[in-house]
């Protein structure tokens, strides 16, 4: 189908969904939770995920995959509607969906290029559990990021663009057409999200991260089998931010004697938002600017790494640099915001 026609259809779909949901007062983000009301109190329809699921139903011909994508999307809707509130229960359902999905389609990470992990991955059952763990880290880490406009959809737009570039330059034998259609839907979501006219919500974030994570695992496995394409460590670099956000949050909450599943408003993007808020008075601008600043950093990292997608040593160094930069920025923003509160 012509990409321009798809763009117009998606545009019409999101206009219709926004109008319908607002009129019916259905799936409206009401900021019931502390970490959601921290940045904005606007009533915004959660329609982003519907655009992504429509895209998959139209252009992904694997009905078994679509069934599981639909399950994770439905779980997200139940979370958005507060039908399922308990984070532990959500995590358990996520685990069952992802684990059964991987077991059913017989897909799992073949290599990480990290020797001690690869030793255990030779066992298929371990490999499926490990892959499930990685996808859950990605899904929930991405959900942590969904606090300011453009952050999640912008981040995944960068990933899709990088993958399309590398795939095209190296003529990798993979079905990239689904990435083109996904990119169109993400660009529309980005535009509407920038002006606070739509949110991904848990439904969109769960689905988007699950789909991208699964596709990148497949792409990495193709590279492992054929060799000299994309290193699994490059996939790790592409997904470092949501994964480390999750890990850092768990460590931070454990050290402060909080439940890892407990929501709060001191993630990196919250701290950056608070830092900018003192200097810029327009909340709407700060909301989108926060996500753009973080993604601009990730864009620079992706540009630096794009010609070294199979240089394992270089990729490990970049991941470690990212972790150091994240930690330094976090501590700086935490200290700056603490001083501002005292003053």
Per-residue model confidence as pLDDT tens digits over 60-94: 989 999 999 999 999 999 999 999 999 999 999 99
Could you tell me the end-to-end alpha-carbon distance of the chain, in angstroms, rounded to an integer? 58
pLDDT in tens, 26-50: 998 865 555 555 555 678 999 999 9
pLDDT in tens, 89-127: 999 999 999 999 999 999 999 989 888 999 999 999 999
pLDDT in tens, 164-191: 998 888 777 788 888 999 999 999 999 9
Radius of gyration of the CA atoms of the chain, in A: 20
pLDDT in tens, 229-269: 788 999 999 999 999 999 999 888 888 878 777 777 889 99
d(CA 278, CA 296): 21
The pLDDT, as a whole number, for residue 99 is: 98
d(CA 286, CA 272): 9
Q: Which residues of 16-51 are buried (b: 16+ CB within 10 A; e: fewer)?
A: ebbeebeeeeebbbebeeebbebbbeeebbbbbbbb
Which two structure tokens, joined as six digits, stand for 330? 């976090």
d(CA 135, CA 216): 11
- Give the residue, 37 or 218, on which the prediction is more confident: 218
Nearest to 181, CA basis, from 13, 14, 56, 50: 56
The single-letter DSSP state of residue 33 is S
d(CA 45, CA 68): 24
pLDDT in tens, 120-162: 999 999 999 999 999 999 999 999 888 889 999 999 999 999 9
The pLDDT, as a whole number, for residue 32 is: 52
What does the mean pLDDT of the chain come to?
A: 90
The pLDDT, as a whole number, for residue 167 is: 84
The pLDDT, as a whole number, for residue 343 is: 46
Give me the residue spans of the domains in the chain: 3-342
């Amino acid at each position: 189908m012509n990409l321009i026609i798809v763009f117009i259809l998606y545009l019409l779909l999101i206009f219709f969904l926004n109008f319908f949901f607002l009129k019916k007062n259905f799936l409206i983000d009401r900021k019931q939770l502390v970490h959601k009301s921290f940045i904005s109190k606007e009533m915004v329809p959660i329609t982003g995920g519907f655009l992504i699921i429509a895209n998959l139903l139209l252009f992904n011909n694997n009905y078994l995959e679509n069934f599981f994508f639909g399950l994770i999307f439905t779980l997200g809707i139940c979370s958005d509607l507060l039908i399922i509130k308990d984070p532990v229960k959500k995590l358990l359902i996520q685990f069952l969906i992802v684990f059964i999905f991987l077991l059913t389609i017989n897909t799992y990470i073949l290599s990480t290029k990290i020797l001690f992990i690869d030793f255990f991955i030779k066992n298929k059952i371990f490999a499926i559990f490990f892959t499930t763990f990685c996808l859950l880290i990605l899904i929930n880490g991405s959900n942590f990021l969904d606090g300011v406009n453009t952050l999640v959809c912008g981040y995944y737009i960068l990933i899709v663009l990088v993958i399309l570039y590398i795939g095209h330059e190296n003529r990798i034998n993979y079905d990239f057409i689904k990435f083109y259609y996904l990119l169109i839907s993400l660009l529309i979501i980005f535009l509407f999200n920038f002006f606070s006219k739509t949110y991904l919500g848990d439904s969109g974030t769960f689905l988007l991260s699950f789909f991208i994570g699964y596709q990148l695992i497949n792409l990495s496995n193709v590279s492992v089998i054929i060799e000299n394409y994309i290193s699994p460590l490059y996939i790790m670099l592409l997904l470092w931010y949501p994964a480390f956000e999750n890990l850092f949050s768990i460590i931070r909450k454990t050290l402060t004697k909080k439940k890892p599943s407990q929501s709060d408003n001191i993630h990196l993007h919250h701290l950056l938002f608070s830092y900018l808020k003192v200097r810029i008075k327009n909340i709407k601008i700060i909301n989108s600017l926060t996500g753009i600043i973080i993604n601009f950093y990730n864009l620079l990292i992706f540009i630096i790494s794009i010609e070294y997608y199979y240089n394992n040593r270089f990729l490990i160094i970049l991941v470690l640099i990212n972790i150091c930069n994240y930690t330094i920025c976090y501590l700086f923003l935490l200290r700056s915001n603490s001083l501002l509160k005292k003053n």
